[in-house]
Amino acid sequence: MSDIIQLLPDHVANQIAAGEVVQRPASVIKELLENSIDAHATRIQVVIKDAGKTLIQVVDDGVGMSVTDARMSFERHATSKIKLADDLFSLKTKGFRGEALASIAAIAHVELKTRRAEEEIGTCIKMEGSQVVSQEACVTPKGTCLSVKNLFYNIPARRNFLKSDNVETRHIIDEFQRVALAHPDISFSLTHNNNELFQLPPSNQRQRITNIFGGKTNEKLVPVEEDTGIVKVSGFVGKPEFAKKSRGEQFFFVNNRFIKSPYLNHAVVAAFEGLLKDKSYPSYFLYLDVDPKSIDINIHPTKTEIKFDDEHALYAILKSAIKHSLGQFNVAPMLDFER
C-alpha cells in the first residue's frame, strides 16, 4: 500500500476555516469592522444589500495597504498584527489569526480597494474562490474599501441555511451595535438597501448608547466607575425600574471587545439583588479594561469568549462597584407592595 496522506490545497483549507469564521453575513461585518478599527480608522461606513446576502461593503479611512500587503492580506495565517506566539499575551488589536480575509475570499466574490496616505495611487484586487481574478493600480481614497458579494455562492448548503432577510439583518445590526458601542470615538454608519439605519458621530460612551438606543435611554443610565489594580470598570447600568422582560441591552466590553460572560452577568444580577421584579433583566453597558496579559482571547475563532486569570476577583469588584452606584444614585429597594 502506498502512503495516503496529502496536504489539502489552500483553497480547500480556506473553505474549511471559513466554516468556523463565517457563519452568516453578520460574521463578515464583524471581521471587516475589526480590521478597519485595527487600521486606526476614524470613520467606518457599512453598506449592505439584501441583508448582506448579495453585498457587504465596509469603507474606512484607515492606514490602507501597500500593493504587496494588499495581495498578502488574502493569504491564510498572514497578519501584520502578531509576529511571535508571545505576542498573543499582549494583544492590542482585534485581529491576530490572519484568517478572516482568506476565509471570506474562499466563499464569496471579494473586491479590495486600498491606498496608503503616502502613496498617490492605490491597489484594486478581485478575488473569487481564493483565486486572484485581477489586480491593478487604481484611484481610490486613502484607506480601504472591502466589498463582499454573493456570500456562500459556492456552498449552497450554507446559503440555503441562511434565515430570512429580517433575521439576518437583525444579526448584522446586533454585530454593528456591539462594535459601535465598543468604540464610541469612531464614527460609524450602516445603510441597508439604500436606507440609512444608523449614522453615529464620534462621541463618548453615554452619547453613543443614546444615539443607538434612543434619547430616552439617557435618563435610565446609572454610571459605574471603579479602578483597582486588576481592572478599570466604566460604563452604565440601567435603573432597576427600567429592567426588561427579555435580555436585550446587556453588553460587556473587555479591552474594547464585546464579550459574552454568563459568570460576569451573574455578578451584575447579584448586585441588583432585591431591586428587580421576577423575570426581569437589567440593562448594562459595562467596559472593563484589564492587562492583556491577564486574559486569553484565543479560545474560539469568533473571540466572543475569553478566559480571565482572576475571574473571582473581577466578579467581586464588578458586583461591589454596581451596588455602590445603585446606592449612590438613590435607587432604593422596591417596597413589598410594589412587587
Q: Which residues contact 52 (CB under 8 A, 6 or more apart)?
A: 24, 25, 26, 28, 29, 151, 168, 169, 172
If the CB atoms of residues 35 and 283 are measured against ligand ADP, the closer one turns out to be 35
- Contact segment (CB under 5 A) with Mg ion among 30-38, 155-163, 237-245, 331-339 equals 30-38
- Quick check: 100 binds Mg ion (CB under 5 A)? yes
- Quick check: 231 binds Mg ion (CB under 5 A)? no
Residue from the set 25, 95, 235, 301 that interacts with Mg ion by CB under 5 A: 95
- Quick check: 303 binds ligand ADP (CB under 6 A)? no
- Quick check: 107 binds ligand ADP (CB under 6 A)? no
- How far from the centroid of its chain's Cα atoms is residue 275's Cα? 31
Kindly state the smallest distance separating residue 110's Cβ from Mg ion, in Å.
Answer: 14
If the CB atoms of residues 53 and 97 are measured against Mg ion, the closer one turns out to be 97
- Residue pair 170/28 in contact (Cβ under 8 Å)? The answer is no
Residue 57 near which of ligand ADP, Mg ion, none (CB within 5-8 Å, type-dependent): none
- Three-class secondary structure of residue 218 per DSSP: helix
Q: Which residues contact 321 (CB under 8 A, 6 or more apart)?
A: 224, 225, 226, 233
- Three-class secondary structure of residue 69 per DSSP: helix
> Which stretch of DSSP H or E encloses residue 172?
helix 165-182
Write the burial class of residue 190 (CB in 10 Å: 0-12 exposed, 13-18 middle, 19+ buried): buried
If the CB atoms of residues 102 and 264 are measured against ligand ADP, the closer one turns out to be 102
User: Site residues for Mg ion, window 33-62 (CB under 5 A)?
Assistant: 35
- Quick check: 106 binds ligand ADP (CB under 6 A)? no
Kindly state the smallest distance separating residue 9's Cβ from ligand ADP, in Å.
Answer: 19
If the CB atoms of residues 99 and 168 are measured against ligand ADP, the closer one turns out to be 99
Kindly state the smallest distance separating residue 193's Cβ from ligand ADP, in Å.
Answer: 24
Residue from the set 17, 63, 108, 275 that interacts with ligand ADP by CB under 6 A: 63
| One-character DSSP codes across 92-116 | -SS--SS-HHHHHHHSSEEEEEEE-
Return residues touching ligand ADP (CB under 6 A): 31, 35-36, 39, 60, 62-65, 73, 78-81, 95-102, 144
